[in-house]
Amino acid sequence: MTWLLFLTNQLDEMSKMRKQFTKEERLEIVKQSFEPDVKVADVAAKFGIGANTLSRWRREFRQEHGIVPQGQGIKVMTDEEREIARLKKQLREAQLERDILKKAISIFSKGDGKYSNS
């Protein structure tokens, strides 16, 4: 009966250990998940990892390589496209700041005269 207990404990310990994937292995798994007509969950199950883990790896891969999903495949952004995206983001932030300042000015100017020069 002791050997059965020993084996059970060994199996429990083995199931708690997670496989550590190298950078190259992760890259290969991510590439497979980008193939047309392939589901992330299927690729994750094939390699014994969670779908959320694979999704995180895919997101990290896109961020590192400037890749955005496009239709059936993936598209690598050129330097110019990355610069345009960065500038558009910067413009949106500046417009938001401007709108907030406009709102603040209108609030202070409508006040009890405490904040206005009149």
Q: What is the pLDDT along the chain (118 residues), one digit of tens a residue?
A: 576 666 666 665 555 566 788 988 998 999 899 888 889 999 999 999 999 999 999 988 888 877 655 554 556 678 898 899 899 999 999 999 999 999 999 988 886 666 555 5
Give the global pTM.
0.45
Distance between CA 62 and CA 68 in Å, rounded? 6
Which segments of 9-109 are extended strands (E)?
67-70, 73-76
* Residue-range domain boundaries for the chain: 1-77, 78-118
Distance between CA 118 and CA 116 in Å, rounded? 6
The strand pairing partners of 75, in sequence order, are 68
Q: What pLDDT score was predicted for residue 65?
A: 75
Distance between CA 98 and CA 5 in Å, rounded? 69
Please name the fold of domain 1-77.
Arc Repressor Mutant, subunit A (1.10.10)
Q: What pLDDT score was predicted for residue 15?
A: 55
Q: In one letter, which amino acid is 40? A: V
Q: What pLDDT score was predicted for residue 13?
A: 58
